[in-house]
């Protein structure tokens, strides 16, 4: 999906054709070279004969050398005019497959299915359970599970742009298959079911409540009574192809599915101008995470380099901001953190009694009860491992003052396998750093910084009138103390 130079202007009016005719999501990419019929270690290759394939897709896969049975599987869907090879070489998923030990399946569509090689997230014949492209992807999962001996409780799906829209549909269609998902610059599940509605989803607020959005997920598999996948949402605030409201709608949809508040359980500032808001389940574990990247246009967030948490390669619609694949992998627990849908790979129980024993402006101290058989303990801050301890206490350092963090702890056995993570606790460092937020009145309300009354918007705490409750009126709010906001349009 794209309306930007290089993807649209070189295609003789494609901008108008995308918007008016298909509503599709176009991204520039390279061509794919066909591979061998079976995957060899550490190379991207094509797999044939994976099922009836009603969606007419191609299956490509990557697995690191010596991949053991019982490891996770990630399904990664490219954007329009992209290919499996392009996504494989730019997204960083191969790097983390090697590092953490899992296989990756890359479904690929083509111009036979859609003139722009878009996954057809906007077509109910292709995006609903056991039909079209959705069933083809499910058949690829089954093929990979049989080939690699994948742990069926640790299967995940992610996608960019049109692939992100289809990934959201797959999470709704197959909650019995996917433990978690990530939607990068994509659309809510079942936002459009006919092609003519696609551009409206891309560009406009659909004005649905969280409950209405959640119903579209539940109606995708009405018979499902189990738990739903944990979902990461990545959205640039400067995206003009898939407007930022889609990130908010995805947040509303999946918090609605989980039955949790749209008010963040925690907020964290990351590299690349990224703000992470987490929405925890009743056990204190993040069920939904929204990564909002200030100023980023349409594409996948990458951060080339060899440092911890860096990944990927820049290119058309691979944008140098933050390594989204790294944080998504950590959210799912692929790094061994146990933060994913089903905990770590070890068998030790979760430590009990995790408490905050002290805070300063830059540190948080923790304590917990011992677990029999534990050789050490891994400590996680906001789902990312930050250290380990041989005893039952740990002090996290180098933190920002006046900031809230979420912690869990997992016991590690003598073989180095982390067990189930503990219930989460939150800790806030002392001191306070004033923050400013510029957004529409609608976004300020949905972020929990303002509220509405009689069709007008008021800042939380100060109750200053901000004007009509809509997406057109924009204000800057300054948080002068915890939960207290004042209008600061003149400067912050």
pLDDT tens, residue by residue, 61-110:
999 988 899 999 999 999 999 999 999 999 999 999 999 999 999 999 99
Using one digit for the tens of pLDDT, what is the confidence trace for 159-172? 999 999 999 999 99
In the chain, % of residues over pLDDT 70: 89
Instruction: Kindly provide the residue ranges of all beta strands, DSSP E only, lying in 6-108, ordered along the sequence.
Output: 45-47, 58-62, 73-77, 103-108
Closest of 93, 420, 400, 86 to residue 267, by C-alpha = 400
Q: Cβ–Cβ contacts within 10 Å for residue 90, how many?
A: 26
pLDDT at position 285 over 90? no
Give mean pLDDT, residues 348-362: 91
Closest of 150, 155, 194 to residue 171, by C-alpha = 155
- The mean of the pLDDT values for the chain is 87
Range with top average pLDDT, 167-181, 264-278, 375-389, 401-415: 167-181
Give mean pLDDT, residues 287-315: 95
Give the pLDDT of residue 346: 62
161 catalytically annotated: yes
| 160, β-bridge pairs | 184
Query: 248-266 in b/e burial notation, b at 16+ Cβ within 10 A?
Result: bbbbbbbbbbbebebebbb
Place of tokens 């659909």: 206
The residue annotated as part of the active site, out of 4, 127, 161, 266, is: 161
**Which residues, in sequence order, are CB contacts of 29 under 8 Å at separation 6+?**
78, 79, 81, 82, 83, 86, 87, 316, 317
Alpha-carbon distance values, 113 to 119, 123, 160, 320 (Å): 8, 11, 18, 31
Give me the residue spans of the domains in the chain. Answer: 9-332, 355-428, 435-487
Give the pLDDT of residue 90: 97
Give the pLDDT of residue 338: 55
Give mean pLDDT, residues 365-384: 89
Give mean pLDDT, residues 264-277: 93
Give the pLDDT of residue 386: 86
**Residue 21, both tokens:** 């005719």
Give the pLDDT of residue 339: 53
Closest of 463, 470, 466 to residue 485, by C-alpha = 463
Contact indicator for 474, 440 with CB cutoff of 8 Å: yes
Residue 19: pLDDT band (50, 70, 90) is very low
Using one digit for the tens of pLDDT, what is the confidence trace for 46-56? 999 999 999 99
Domain 9-332 part of CATH 3.40.50.1820: yes
Domain 355-428 part of CATH 2.60.40.1730: no
**Which residues, in sequence order, are CB contacts of 416 under 8 Å at separation 6+?**
none
DSSP per residue, 406-433: EEEEEEE-TTS-EEEEPPPEEEE-SS--
């Amino acid at each position: 999906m794209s309306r930007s130079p290089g993807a649209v202007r070189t295609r003789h009016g494609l901008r108008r054709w995308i918007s008016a005719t298909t509503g599709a999501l176009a991204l520039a990419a390279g061509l794919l070279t066909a591979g061998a019929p079976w995957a060899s270690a550490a190379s991207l290759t094509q797999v044939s004969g994976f099922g009836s394939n009603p969606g007419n897709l191609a299956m490509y896969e990557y697995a690191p050398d010596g991949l053991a049975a019982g490891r996770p599987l990630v399904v990664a869907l490219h954007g329009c005019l992209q290919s499996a090879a392009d996504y494989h070489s730019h997204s960083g998923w191969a790097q983390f497959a090697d590092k953490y030990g899992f296989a990756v399946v890359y479904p690929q569509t083509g111009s036979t299915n859609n003139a722009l090689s878009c996954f057809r997230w906007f077509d109910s014949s292709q995006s609903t359970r056991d039909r079209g492209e959705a069933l083809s992807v499910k058949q690829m999962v089954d093929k990979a599970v049989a080939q690699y001996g994948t742990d069926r409780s640790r299967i995940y799906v992610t996608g960019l742009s049109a692939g992100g829209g289809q990934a959201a549909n797959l999470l709704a269609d197959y909650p019995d298959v996917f433990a978690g998902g990530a939607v990068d610059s994509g659309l809510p599940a079942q936002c459009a079911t006919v092609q003519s509605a696609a551009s409206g989803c891309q560009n406009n607020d659909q004005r649905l409540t969280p409950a209405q959005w959640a119903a579209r997920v539940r109606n995708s598999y009405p018979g499902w009574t189990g738990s739903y996948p944990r979902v990461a949402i990545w959205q640039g605030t400067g995206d003009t192809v898939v407007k930022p409201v889609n990130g908010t709608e995805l947040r509303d949809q999946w918090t609605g599915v989980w039955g949790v508040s749209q008010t963040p359980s925690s907020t964290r500032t990351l590299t690349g101008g990224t703000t992470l808001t987490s929405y925890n389940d009743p056990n204190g574990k993040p069920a939904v995470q929204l990564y909002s990247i200030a100023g980023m246009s349409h594409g996948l967030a990458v951060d080339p380099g060899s440092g911890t948490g860096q990944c990927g390669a820049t290119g058309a619609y691979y944008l140098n901001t933050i390594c989204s694949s790294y944080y998504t992998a950590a959210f799912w627990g692929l790094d061994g953190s146990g933060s994913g849908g089903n905990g770590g790979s070890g068998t030790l129980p979760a430590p009990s009694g995790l408490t905050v024993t002290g805070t300063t402006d830059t540190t948080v101290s923790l304590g917990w009860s011992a677990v029999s058989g534990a050789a050490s303990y891994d400590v996680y801050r906001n789902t990312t491992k930050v250290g380990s301890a041989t005893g039952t206490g740990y002090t996290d350092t180098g933190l920002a003052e006046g900031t809230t963090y979420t912690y869990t702890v997992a016991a590690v056995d003598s073989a180095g396998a982390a067990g189930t993570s503990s219930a989460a606790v939150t800790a806030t460092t002392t001191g306070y750093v004033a923050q400013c937020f510029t957004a529409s009145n609608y976004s300020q309300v949905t972020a929990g910084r303002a509220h509405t009354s009689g069709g007008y918007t008021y800042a939380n705490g100060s109750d200053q009138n901000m004007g009509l409750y809509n997406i057109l009126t924009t204000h800057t709010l300054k948080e002068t103390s915890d939960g207290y906001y004042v209008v600061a349009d003149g400067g912050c």
